[in-house]
Amino acid sequence: MDHQDHMHLLEQGIPSRGGFWADLGSGRGAFTLALIDLIGPAGFIYSIDRDEHTINRQAELVREHAPQAEVHYLLADFNDLHDLPPLDGIVMANSLHFQPDQEHTAELVYGYLKPDGRLLVVEYNIQRKNFAVPYPLPFDRLVWLARRAGFRSTQLLVTRPSRSLDEIYSACSIK
């Protein structure tokens, strides 16, 4: 996938430019970069990952791609955040499938959001676990998980074929 693909997966879930957003489990920053372009210069992003090398490399890429972007990098586990302000939105791209207790994580994420805040999820639409996706989160399970956490609605945004794991989807859950 390229930058346009990442933007396409997120864009329908972002109602307006600006706001306070977080990318949880941001990794190398592919979706952070897409989020930067979609929310524009009026937005502020918390990019959170627990791998220091990855966060540092991401910061370099962001400086090259969008030097004006307001991004605050946090080296942390997103299941243990204490100093975030209430957020307008959260992106979790390929990060929930690493969480053994997805219900707990979904409840925490719900608490990080403002009323009407949005959770944008990008995941593989598979049922069976494998070495790359130890805790699969197909769309129907996301709907159930989001409802259990308190989200009022979850909408499928985009699906696309995946080279290695059938299909990838994006979805938006609204607090």
Domains of the chain by range and CATH? 3-116+146-174 (3.40.50.150)
- pLDDT digit string (tens) for 36-56? 999 999 999 999 999 999 999
How far apart CA 54 and CA 49 sit, in angstroms, is 8
State yes or no: pLDDT of 142 exceeds 90. Answer: yes
The pTM of the full predicted model, rounded to 2 decimals, is 0.96
Binning the chain into helix, strand and coil, the percentages to the nearest 5 are: 35, 30, 35
| Paired residues of 53 in beta bridges | none
pLDDT at 164: 75
